[in-house]
Amino acid sequence: METGIIQIIGVTIGTFVSIITMLIKIRKEIVRQQRDNFRARLQDERRLLALENRIELVEQQTLASISALEQRLFELNQRFDLFNEILYKQYAKSCYENE
């Protein structure tokens, strides 16, 4: 009878050890998955920040280009007005000389 009880106790202890070992492996896998998920989220956030920085840089460059183009357009418009004024004066002068 004692050997039967000892065998049952041995099987029970072996079962508990197997269950505990399985739970430890499951816990390690959960921790590994959480760590991998955290690293993936961290990489995604870093990529997002880098993308936001690039977008901001492009916006700044675009605004600077627009400002330069506006200035250039203003200068060209002034030259065009001056050119028209000169042409008008020459036309008026030639009309006056032809009379």
Q: Is the pLDDT of residue 99 over 80?
A: no
Q: Position 96: which residue type?
A: Y
* Mean pLDDT, all residues of the chain: 94
Host H or E run for residue 1: none
> pTM to 2 decimals?
0.56
In whole angstroms, how far apart are CA 94 and each of 38, 61, 65, 81, 83? 82, 49, 43, 20, 16
Q: Is the per-residue pLDDT at 1 higher than 70? A: no
Check whether 12 has a pLDDT greater than 80. Answer: yes
% of the chain at pLDDT higher than 70: 97
Residue type present at position 60: Q
Residue with tokens 């000169």: 86
The single residue listed with the structure tokens 């901001």 is 56
Average pLDDT (6-14) is 92
- The string of pLDDT tens digits covering residues 37-74 is 999 999 999 999 999 999 999 999 999 999 999 999 99
Residue 80 confidence (pLDDT) above 90: yes
Alpha-carbon gap, residue 93 to 9, rounded angstroms: 124
